[in-house]
Amino acid sequence: MRFILVVVTAAVAALAACAGEDDQPMDHRSDYQFFSNATRRDATVDEARLVVNLNGCTAFFVDNTQGRTYLMTAQHCVSHAITTWCAGGGHVVDNQGRSGTCTRVIAADASHDVALFEASLPFVPAQGSVLRLAAYLPPVNSRLDMIGYPADNDPTTARHGRLTVTQDCWVLSGDRPSPYGAGNMSDRSMLHNCSTYGGNSGGPMYIEGSLDAVGLPFTYVPDDYHRRNPNDLHTAAALAQTADFVATFRDRLDAAGVVIADAPPPH
């Protein structure tokens, strides 16, 4: 279960340790997650409406035509057992302080870290205010925004689990295998340079200026805050593609009325 990015193996850990979690089932070491280009700031009110807190991780609202409340997250945020978590009344809290529970799993399997579920939160997705799932791979150099709850102690920009938008970062590579090889995190991947930390888990990475979610952050390094070269693939971070998830579960997503973005937004 070891994957070497380019030719160098260095320190990395999966985004398995969300804020407040001790469980780190994946401890592969192959890249760094803080970059000299990336900036971080507090989310606006509108941006805060895109996500919820889930076990110290992040989940985000997904657009659909059924008037339902759909959320996407990373399965490692629920110990790779989203069906069990949901059946046990899995709890989520939005950024207005309203709480709800998981009511059904729409799309998930044992080989993907990404999952989509429905929740009882009193929120009805409205056109233009919720994220769409991208069925396409964003071109290299596509600029990204990322929202989550990074629980880092960086000396200059520590977030301590506050809701955070990470910007000034971009896609570095095309399609790649999962950095975790086989097993329960085999999602197809891409490389990026958005500074990432535990608590970003499950959150959206979307094309700047759009509502197209193209991935979920996949890797971080605990307690390593050295700034990395923004274009060095040896030390790049990894994301789990939404395109891979959509391709795998397209029939289920279409049946549930999930809105899919099949092509990049026009420039």
pLDDT of residue 182: 63
Single pTM value for the model? 0.89
Delineate the domains of the chain, giving CATH numbers in brackets.
54-127+251-261 (2.40.10)
The DSSP-derived string for the chain is ----STT-----EETT--TT--------------BSS-EEEEPPHHHHTTEEEETTEEEEEE-BSSS--EEEEEGGGGTT-HHHHHHTT-EEEETTS-EEEEEEEEE--TT-SEEEEEE--S----TTSSBEEE-SPPPTT-EEEEEE------TTT--TT--EEEEEEEB--S-B--TT-SSS----EEEE-----TT-TT--EEETTS-EEEEEE-EE-TT--PPBPTT-GGG-EEEEEHHHHHHHHHHHHHHTTB-EE-SPPP-
**Lowest mean pLDDT segment, chosen from 10-14, 177-181, 211-215, 244-248:** 10-14
pLDDT of residue 5: 27
95-128 pLDDT per residue, tens:
888 889 999 999 999 999 999 999 998 776 666 6
